[in-house]
Amino acid sequence: MNRILAVGILLVMAGCSYTQPYVTNISPAGKNGILVEKCKIEMNSLTSKISDSSCNTSYV
């Protein structure tokens, strides 16, 4: 039972480190478009602080 739990935790941790979580913000930009902002977020497990980086803004 402990081995299964350990493997499950390992897979969850590996999945989070490879997928690189992103946050998307969508807002209106006048009558004919929208602004889409996509940022990569990272959490520091030692300080429990969340920071964002690599933000891209696109007009659609």
5 within a domain of the structure (yes/no): no
Of 58, 1, 51, nearest in space to 24 by CA: 58
15 within a domain of the structure (yes/no): no
Give buried/exposed letters for 25-51 (b at 16+ CB in 10 A, else e).
eeeeeeeeeeeeeebeeeeeeeeeeee
The predicted-structure confidence for 1-56, as pLDDT tens digits, reads as follows 667 777 666 565 555 555 567 777 888 888 888 888 888 888 877 888 888 778 88
10 within a domain of the structure (yes/no): no
11 within a domain of the structure (yes/no): no
34 within a domain of the structure (yes/no): yes
The predicted-structure confidence for 11-20, as pLDDT tens digits, reads as follows 655 555 555 6
Q: Which domain holds residue 45?
A: 21-60
48 within a domain of the structure (yes/no): yes
14 within a domain of the structure (yes/no): no
* Per-residue confidence (pLDDT) for residue 37, from 0 to 100: 85
Count of the separate structural domains present in the chain:
1
